Chain A
Amino acid sequence: MRVKHPRNALVVGGVFVLVAIIYYLVSHDAGGTTTLAALGIAMGLAAYALVVGTSDDL
């Protein structure tokens, strides 16, 4: 399946960043917030790179 707008792949990471924000508001735990936010950044970047990096010629 082809993703028409690669930037939409960033939503994958955005979800975890949102979870990180909610987690921080609830717990004030910087350690857990850091890992959740980093997971979001890493997943968003990976999803974006994979979508953009996929050739239509495959």
Chain B
Amino acid sequence: MSASTALTTHAPAIAEGHRAGISNPILGMILFICSEVMFFAGLFAAYFNVRATAPVWPPSAAEVGEHLAERFDLHAEPWLAAILTIVLVSSSFTCQLGVWAIRRDDRRGLIRAIGVTMVMGIAFLIGQVYDYSQLGFGLSDGTFGTTFFTLTGFHGAHVFGGVIMLGVVLFRAMGGQFSARHHDAVEAASIYWHFVDVVWICLFSLLYIIPTK
């Protein structure tokens, strides 16, 4: 995983019994991600709580009406979300390719990889907006609508933040600001992107794969 790779890369002296420490941007990003883990844990816990206390999940036609009950059945049409998952997971690989490129001092490779990652991130966001427009239910449509849009919406906001982060990295890379020795911002942005990817895999599994009750 990128976080551990970054830690070991920046602490080569551990094996020799001396620690040089890791850079502030990477340490800051790891601690920020720790807080993000708790943030998403709260949202997931809320979802589990609502799901556990509901007699039927997603809510049945008797509770919310035939139209909404049909729309809440996300398991019936997971294909768009599955495609978005493939796009986001692939973007994690391209992001890591960028990190490996700059570690070799390959600046063109970094620009290419981060550019592709950014395009895939934007494609994910466009796909999510399209998915929202096709769902047929909204934020105010009961506990299911509220938890669904809160979870996926906050994740989308994080992807948006990640795209901006990658944009800054790309802009700086095009200005020749990174090298094999100085590329902490690339490592930090990569760690964040992998985290956002892992959260989506959990979300996709929870909302589209794990059986309903």
Contacts and interface: CB of A to CB of B under 8 A. Distances in A.
Contacts of A31: 44-49, 52
B14 interface: yes
A46 B48 CA distance: 25
A35 B49 CA distance: 11
A45 B33 contact: yes
Nearest to B49: A31
Interface string A20-58: 000000000111101101110111011011101111111
Interface residues of A, number: 25
Interface in B32-55: 33-35, 37-38, 40-42, 44-49, 51-52
Given A31-B52, A49-B7, A54 B41 contact: no
B34 A45 contact: yes
Contacts of B11: 52-53
Interface string B6-48: 0100010010001111100011001101110110111011111
B21 A53 contact: yes
Interface of B: 3, 7, 11, 14, 18-22, 26-27, 30-31, 33-35, 37-38, 40-42, 44-49, 51-52
A48 B1 CA distance: 14
A56 B21 CA distance: 7
Contacts, number: 82
B20 A38 contact: no
Interface of A: 6, 29-32, 34-35, 37-39, 41-43, 45-46, 48-50, 52-58
Q: Is the interface of A mostly helix, strand, loop or mixed?
A: helix
Contacts of A43: 34
Nearest to B11: A52
Give the interface centre of A29, A43, A55, A57 by most chain B CB atoms within 10 Å: A55
Contact of B7 (A52, A55, A58): A52
A32 B52 CA distance: 11
A35 B38 CA distance: 7
A52 B14 contact: yes
Given A31-B48, A46-B30, A49-B7, A56 B41 contact: no
B27 A35 contact: no
B41 A49 contact: no
Given A38-B37, A38-B38, A49 B52 contact: no
